[in-house]
Amino acid sequence: MKRAYLFPGQGSQFPGMGKDLYDRYDEAKKLFGLADEILGFPLTEVMFYGTEEELRRTKITQPAIFVHSVIAAKVLGDDFRPDMLAGHSLGEFSALTAGGALSFEDGLQLVLKRALAMQRATEMTDSAMAAVLGMDDETVERVLQHVPGVVVPANYNSPGQLVISGETEAVKIAAEKLKEAGARRVVMLNVGGAFHSPLMEPARKDLADAIAKTPFTAPVAPVYQNVTALPETDPEKIKQNLIAQLTSPVKWTQSIRNMIKDGATEFYEVGPGNVLLGLLRKIDRTVKGIKVG
């Protein structure tokens, strides 16, 4: 029996997130205070008392989810015993920090740099993302090959749920073609831009420099990285995959299937929300999903 720990990405935030941890654990109080200090602005104020709209700003969202997730893992203490780890997009930074590959301070600084770099990149091009529901991955990929402009698979979330990303016009044309080809629904997403697409290249360059200068060590358990869906412990390879992640698709379905193939029977979602447990049920109903934090 092996335990896998999963860390959520953008979209799992909610008003009041982390307040229960802050009120209950001294270690959480200390780390929330440290987060405000590192960032130079009162993140915890927005997390605990901010509106949904305030929490949706990329500069806030990504650090908030990271801080909540890592603190939730830390307060588990000796109960945090991963045999394997994975994080969805931003959650990969949480997984690496909870798994000891990055310090809390370095992880948070990288997440802030990532958020700001992605924000800048989204302002350069009119871009969008859409969720394609009720269609197999191969058909989506085939349809996208015949759409003019930049539009690519971005998140392989679960069977029958693939998110596409690219130039707004190309995404809209793709949405029509996918519906004609048999997709049950194509839903435009309320996000800032085309994450996990070639349009994030300026952000990738910004983040590559910061990651190169940050010390990484081997994590306590293999991290199944988004870019390859394979387990990794080598710090240099982890860095390369993290840099590539911004312009590459998140292979979440493939990661979960590989973890199950490698013996995972219990999956713990650590951090705000339960999006990943929902995806887990769609990928494989036979494994156990447990919510933490």
Q: Which of 196, 197, 248, 255 is catalytic?
A: 196
Q: Which of 89, 94, 127, 158 is catalytic?
A: 89
Instruction: Give long-range contacts, CB 8 A cutoff, 24+ apart: 164-167.
Output: 164/129, 164/130, 164/132, 164/140, 165/127, 165/128, 165/129, 165/194, 165/195, 165/196, 165/197, 165/199, 166/127, 166/128, 166/194, 166/197, 166/199, 167/125, 167/126, 167/127, 167/128, 167/194, 167/199
d(CA 141, CA 125): 23
Active site residue 69: no
Closest CA to 132 of 122, 142, 124, 123: 142
Structure tokens at 110: 């990288």
User: N- to C-terminal Cα distance for the chain?
Assistant: 22
252: number of Cβ within 10 Å: 29
Question: How are beta strands 127-133 and 151-158 bridged, if at all?
Answer: unpaired
Question: Residues with catalytic annotation?
Answer: 89, 196
